[in-house]
Structure formats: C-alpha cells, structure tokens
Structure 1
Amino acid sequence: MNPSLALATLAAAALLSGPVAQAQAVPDAAFVREVNAFVDGWHDDAAHTRPAYFDKIAPQGVYIGTDKTEIWTRDQFKAWARPFWERGKAWSFTAQKRNVYHSPDRSYVWFDEQLTTQMGTCQASGVLRNTGKGFLVEHYQLSLAVPNALNAGFAKAIAKYEAKPATKK
C-alpha cells in the first residue's frame, strides 16, 4: 500500500473512532428539546440581565465574542458585562436555527446556531456539559455572519483600523 494512502487511512480511522463520529446519527428528540430550552433560556437570561446567565457558564468556561480581544473565562466575562447588568440592558440573541449534537452518553453536547441580534445575523457554536442536574456552558463562540462578497471590504477596513496607532484612554 502507498505510504501516503496508509497514513490517510489511519488518520480517517482515528477520526471515525473519535467523539464526533460517535455522536448520535439522529439525536434524541426529547434531549434536543431540553438542550434547546436551556440555550434559549440562557440567551433570554442575557436579554433580561438575570444573574442566572453567568451561573449557567462553567467556572472554567470560555466565552469568545466578536472582537479578537474578547476571549474570556466566565469570571472575566462577568466583569466585562457588569455595566450592562447594572443598567439592566444587555444583548438579545434569538435563534433562527440551531443544530444540536451529543455524545452517546449525553454527557457532552455541541451545537451551532444562527442568531438574530442587535448586530444583525450572527453565528455561534457552543459546547455544553451535562452535569446530571442540568447543563453548563463550557465553551461559546460568537461571530458576525459576513457575506463572502463583503469579506474583501471588511478585511481592508479591519487592516486600516488595526494600522492606526493606539489611542490613549
């Protein structure tokens, strides 16, 4: 057998035996409803600045926002968001669609979603851990959904912005 083909076959076998391949081919509908209710409730907690929003993020959980500087642990994210909570108005995300996948034992869930937000349509992905008493957000990443036809213009605008000297605050 060709060495490259053998290596590719071994890599494919490793991928097919990993956790993604072991996800339910057809996720359990009742469990998916439970996941959707949790994520929708989490988004609603933010829209209404309920403290439960942060309680639903694992202590070591990570939230990645739309700006390249926005990579936070739960407590860093909570500190950043404090002004929003203090004025009683944060962000409002509503799922347009969501795909949910889970490990066979339902201990981990991963999902992707398209959202209606104050920034327009966004996309996000997340990982939840099932504690047996509920879910915790282990990882969430939010991004702007930029049409491909606009990418070149956005890339130029970002490069121009980043080339400016930093202003003192």
Structure 2
Amino acid sequence: MNNLIFKFFLVLSIMLVAYSANAQTPDADAAFRQQVNAFLDEWHDDAAHANYRYFDKIAKEGVYIGTDKSERWVRDDFKAWAKPYFDKHKAWTFHAIKRNVAFSDDKSFIWFDEQLNTQMGICQASGVIRNTKDGLKIEHYQLSLTVPNPLVPQIQKEISDFDARQAHQ
C-alpha cells in the first residue's frame, strides 16, 4: 500500500512540476515580452553601430523586406548587400517609438509591430521571431515608410512616373 501511495504522489508531483513549468503567468509573460523588446532594441543598436552581430539575430533563412519594392533578402544576401555600409561603420539607426509584442502560448513564436524613428523619418515595421534552442531568431521583418493618407495620390503619381521612366531606360 505504501508503494502505491508513493507512486501516486510521485506522479502527482511530476504533473504539478510539468504544469507549473508550462503555465503562463502575467509576470512570466511580462518578463518574456521584456526579453523580446531587449532583443529587438539590441538588434537595432547593432545596426546603428554597424556590428555584424546584427545578422546573427536573423535566422539563416530569415527574410528582410526593405522599403523599396526590390528589397527582399534572405539573411546572407542581405548581409552581402549591407557589407559596404557595415565595413564603413555607417549603417542605419532605428529607434523604437512604440512596439506591440504578442506570442504563442508556448512562446515558440513571437510577432510584433513597431513604429520607428529613422533617418527616413517615421517608419513602421512588423516581424516574426522564433524562439530556438540557440535563442531568439528573426524569421521575417518588413520595414515600410509611413505615408499620410492625404498624400497617397501625390506619392502614387510620383511612383508611377518614376516606374515609367525606369521602364524606358
């Protein structure tokens, strides 16, 4: 009988430990969100200081989409494109003004959007991060310029004119 009681409490203890390890608490969620924010702030800081660690934070097959319609890079292609800037220690500086972070229940996937103060003015970006055994890795990042809605017709015309000129060259 004692062996049966011992086994019952052993199984119950294992179940409680497993449950508490997987349980999300507001404090654990806040701490994880803070970790993600620190990771993204450091990533932007790496670019501002032309530190090649910047690219280590992007997954090997991670995608970066820039503001130009031609800018869609997988990490190593993006690194090759950015090399001249990083070699001259003059990359880009993005500072988050605000950011929203959400994640899956198991914290394996994180998605976010952020508004950034940049040399191009205020930009917006969104992305997906995967939480791996090697740490957080950016799987997808898309940067965009912010355009006030009343200016869209004027800017769209300029883009159309630009595209037409490019097509004739």
2:148 matches 1:150: no
AA partner of residue 42 (structure 1): W
In structure 2, the residue matched to 1:117 is: 118
Q: How does 1:15-26 map to 2 (within 5 A)?
A: none
Structure 2, unmatched stretches of 5+, are: 1-24
Q: Are the structure 2 counterparts of residues 148 and 26 from structure 1 closer, same or farther at C-alpha, using a change threshold of 3 Å?
A: farther
SS of the residue 2:133 aligns to: coil
Structure 2 vs 1, CA of residues 162 and 87 (structure 1 numbering), >3 Å: closer, same or farther? same
Structure 1 length normalisation: TM-score? Answer: 0.82
User: Using the alignment, how far apart are the partners of 1:119 and 1:26 within structure 2?
Assistant: 36
Matches of 1:25 and 1:152, distance apart in 2? 45
Report the CA distance between 1:133 and its aligned residue: 3.6
For residue 113 of structure 1, give the secondary structure of its aligned residue in structure 2.
Answer: strand
Other-structure match for 1:79 = 80
Stretch moving more, 148-157 or 159-168: 159-168
Residues 77-125 of structure 1: per-residue CA shift (max 9 Å, x gap): 0011011011111000000000000000000000000000000000000
1:31 aligns with 2:29: no
1:27 touches 1:102 (CA, 8 Å); kept in 2? no
Percent identity over the alignment? 60
For 1:56 and 1:134, the matched residues in 2 are separated by 9
CA distance in 2, matches of 1:147, 1:49: 31
2:93 alignment partner AA:
S
Give the structure with higher Rg (CA): 2
Which structure carries more helix by proportion?
Answer: 2
Q: Aligned equivalents of 1:26 and 1:111: distance in 2?
A: 19
Aligned length: 145
Residue 134 of structure 1 deviates from its aligned partner by 1.5
| AA in 1 matched with 2:161 | K
Instruction: Give runs of ≥4 in structure 1 deviating > 3 Å.
Output: 24-27, 165-168
CA displacement 1:26-80 (0-9 Å, x = unmatched):
9811110000000000000000010100011000000000000000000110011
Retained in 2: the 8 A contact 1:42–1:56? yes
* Structure 1 runs not aligned, ≥5 long: 1-23
- Residues 26 and 32 (structure 1 numbering): CA distance in 2 closer, same or farther, change over 3 Å? same
For residue 149 of structure 1, report the CA deviation from its aligned partner: 0.9
Aligned twin of 2:135: 134
Structure 1 distance, partners of 2:47, 2:132, is 22
- Equivalence map 1:35-46=2 (5 Å): 35-46=36-47
Q: TM-score, normalised by structure 2?
A: 0.82
Partners of 2:28 and 2:115 lie apart in 1 by: 19
